Chains A and B, each alone.
Chain A
Amino acid sequence: MSVIFILILISAVIASTFLIAFIWSVKSGQYDDTYSPSVRILFDDKVKKENKEDSGKTKYNNRKKV
Chain B
Amino acid sequence: MPSLAEKDVDTELHCTHCSDVCDDDSIRADDTVFCCLGCKTVYQILHENGLDAYYRLEDQPGVSLKHNKGKDYYAFIDKEDIQRKILNYLGDDLAKLRLFIPSIHCSSCIWLLENLYKLKNGINLSIVNFPRKELSIDYDPRAITLREVVEMLASLGYEPEITLETTENKNQVSKHQRNLLIKIGVAGFAFGNIMLFSFPEYVGLDRLVEPQFSRFFSFVSMVFSLPVIFFSASDYFKSAWSGLKQRLISIDVPIVIGVVALFTRSVYEVAMAYGTGYFDSLAGLIFFLLLGKWFQGKTYESLLFDRNYKSYFPVAVTKLLHNGKDKDNDRESIPINELVPGDRILIRNAELIPADAVLISEEAWVDNSFVTGESRAVRKCSGDYIYAGGKQAGPVIELEVAREVSQSYLTQLWNKDAFKKSHTSNQKDLINKISKYFTAVVLLIAFGAGTFWLISDPSKALNAFTAVLIVACPCALALATPFAVGSTLRVFGRNGFYLKNGDVVELLANVDEIVFDKTGTITMQSQDRNGITFTGELNEKDKQRIADLTTNSSHPLSRIIAGSLTSNFSTGRNRSISDYTEVKGKGISAKVDGAGVMLGSAEFTGYNYVNGADHRTSRVFVTIDNEKKGFFSITNTYRENFERVIIKLRGAYKMSVLSGDNSAERSFLENVFPENTELYFEQTAYDKLGFVKKRQDTGSNVLMIGDGLNDSGALAQADVGIAVADNVNNFTPASDAILSGSNFSLFPAILSFSKTTVKVIIYSFVLSFIYNIAGLGFAISGNLTPVFAAILMPLSSISVVVFTTGAINLMASKVGFR
Contacts and interface: CB of A to CB of B under 8 A. Distances in A.
Interface of A: 1, 4-5, 8, 12, 15, 18-19, 22-23, 26-27, 29, 31-36, 39-40, 42-43, 46-47, 50-51, 54-55, 58, 61-62, 65-66
B53 A35 contact: no
Contacts of B130: 33, 35-36, 39
Interface of B: 50-51, 53, 57, 107, 110-111, 114, 117-118, 124-125, 127-132, 138, 174, 177-178, 181-182, 185-186, 189, 193, 210, 213, 216, 220
Contacts of A15: 189, 193
B124 A61 contact: yes
A5 B51 contact: no
Nearest to A28: B178
A4 B216 CA distance: 10
Given A36-B128, A36-B129, A40-B114, A61 B178 contact: no
B125 A33 contact: no
A32 B174 contact: yes
A47 B51 contact: yes
A26 B178 contact: yes
18 contacts: A1-B210, A12-B220, A15-B189, A18-B189, A19-B189, A22-B185, A31-B181, A32-B129, A32-B174, A36-B127, A39-B110, A43-B111, A47-B53, A51-B118, A55-B117, A58-B125, A62-B127, A65-B138
What 5 A-B pairs are tightest by C-beta distance, nearest first? A47-B50, A36-B130, A33-B129, A39-B107, A19-B189
A8 B220 contact: yes
A23 B182 contact: yes
A40 B213 CA distance: 51
Most buried by A among B111, B181, B186, B210: B181
Main SS at interface, chain A? helix
Nearest to B114: A40
Contact of B185 (A19, A42, A66): A19
B114 A50 contact: no
B178 A32 contact: yes
B182 A26 contact: yes
Nearest to B53: A46
A43 B138 CA distance: 21
A62 B116 CA distance: 13
Contact of B132 (A19, A23, A33, A65): A33
A61 B125 contact: yes
Given A22-B189, A32-B174, 18 more contacts: A1-B210, A12-B193, A12-B220, A19-B185, A19-B186, A22-B182, A31-B177, A32-B129, A33-B130, A36-B110, A36-B127, A36-B130, A39-B107, A40-B110, A50-B50, A51-B118, A61-B124, A65-B125
Contact of A26 (B53, B129, B185): B185
Nearest to A19: B189
Given A22-B185, A39-B107, A58 B117 contact: yes
B698 to A, nearest CB: 46
B124 A58 contact: yes
Contacts of B186: 19, 23
B213 A54 contact: no
Contacts of A36: 110, 127-131
